[in-house]
A and B are shown apart, each in its own frame.
Chain A
Amino acid sequence: MTYLLVIGTRKGLFTASSEDRRAWEVTGPHRLDTADYASMSSVYAVGVDPRSGRILAGAESSHFGPSVWYSDDNGASWHEPDTAPIAFPEDTNASFTRVWQFAFGPEPDTVYAGVEPHALFRSTDGGLSFRLVRPLWDHPHRADWFPGAGGGAIHTILPGLLGSNGRSPEAMTVAMSTGGVYQTRDAGATWTPANKGVSAVFLPDEEPEYGQCVHKVAAAPNGVLYLQNHHGVYRSADPAGEGWTSIEKGLPSNFGFAVVAHPGRPETAFTFPVLSQEVHLPPDNRLGVYRTDDGGDSWRPVTEGLPQGPYFGIVLRDAACTDGADVPGFYFGTRTGDVYAATDDGKRWHQVAAHLPDVLCVRAVEV
């Protein structure tokens, strides 16, 4: 079995491959284009289609704009669709800034892209062309969504899922900064906010119906959702009904960007705390990952194998993931260019790559 780790950075796309998830061969930056302006672009989103194995990368040239590149040979060669794969319809008077998330739908060749400005696009040809999911763009709340420091975007897409009792092909949960969590039960025709209990410390009403700056939502195998908020960590089995329960007690900070759910054990999840909205550094200037095995009732640090000295790189919202293997591997990258893996069910970290550009996103798969 070969494992492939796809790493999007501030300066290009890297991959790492391994037979045993211990010895990794790191390759990159990959040449997306022969002129190299795309190759040296920021890559905020990568995705690997679980059916076809196609890798998608959202690359954003500061000169020549954003686009989507794809590889059908595990990163050996890259291609760009002949026409712009993502573009807003003329009447929206909007322009596509960047992809923040790729997710794959229950139907073959269905790919969703969460983009900036706040919008969801859908492809039915494996990511070669996308169309705007119009009802969410036309949502009356959209006028109130605003960009956080990173930009205003839909950054989380969970196709087919509403919660522990809410699975169907017509269901979907998305999250955005700012705006919060929205859900559809009718294949995207209507969308309702699902933020009950989630705080918005930057608004006069600290628990509004919508408007929260949710940073990431991860789904446990039983459908329970874990949420890392702009100050706050939460869990919910039914966001639209019972709402969200705080599970931040025991963490060194309730701020952070990434959260990863264990693919096999619903009570296990990982967070990557950041000191505060003002200070985007690890608490105590130490690189730390926190793990719960009881659904967030308690947390403990998992730092074996990580640098023990001062460390200043944080983990961004999509820079952590699991490969979903039977004995799952967990991975994360930092803004100081280090990538770590834990392949003994999350007990000890070892380094996959060092000194890369800022790591913006990682995805891991068996190929």
Chain B
Amino acid sequence: MRVTVHLPGLLRADAGGAAHVPVEVDDGAGLRGVLDALTARHPGLDRRIRDERGALRRYVNVFVDGDECRGIGGLDAPVPDGAEVRLLPSVAGG
């Protein structure tokens, strides 16, 4: 299936400047599989969004068709064919 991942401006330098990255994953891959496919294509993105244990960084939010992933299963969240996956920096810093 095909999913489109939208990147915030802050992370586009790690994806060759791309704002949107289409990725192909197996049906049922879930969000972890989508991020694996994304970061296989753009390896520099992985350390920005996940730590070395594979956990999503605390202040990185990932929305699947508008739902923040932590409310729908985290990295195990289901991702339907044609989904719009959006990475956004959360409210943090100061």
Contacts and interface: CB of A to CB of B under 8 A. Distances in A.
A35 B89 contact: no
B20 to A, nearest CB: 17
B52 A63 contact: no
Interface string B28-67: 0000000000000001100111011101010110000000
Which of A65, A83, A84, A93 has the most B CB atoms < 10 Å from its CB? A65
A32 to B, nearest CB: 12
A95 B47 CA distance: 11
A34 B55 contact: no
Secondary structure at chain A's binding surface: helix, strand, loop or mixed? loop
Interface of A: 33-35, 37, 40, 62-65, 67, 82-84, 87-88, 90, 93-96
A161 to B, nearest CB: 31
B10 A37 contact: yes
Interface of B is mostly: mixed
A35 B10 contact: yes
B55 A82 contact: no
A94 B51 CA distance: 9
Nearest to B92: A62
Nearest to A97: B51
Most A CB contacts (10 A, CB to CB) among B52, B57, B93 go to B52
Given A35-B9, A37-B10, A95-B53, A65 B48 contact: yes
A63 B13 contact: no
Most central of A63, A82, A88, A94 by chain B CB within 10 Å? A63
B44 A62 contact: no
B47 to A, nearest CB: 5
A64 to B, nearest CB: 4
B93 A63 contact: yes
A84 B47 contact: yes
Contact of B60 (A63, A82, A96): A63
A95 B59 CA distance: 15
A177 to B, nearest CB: 22
Contacts of A37: 10, 89
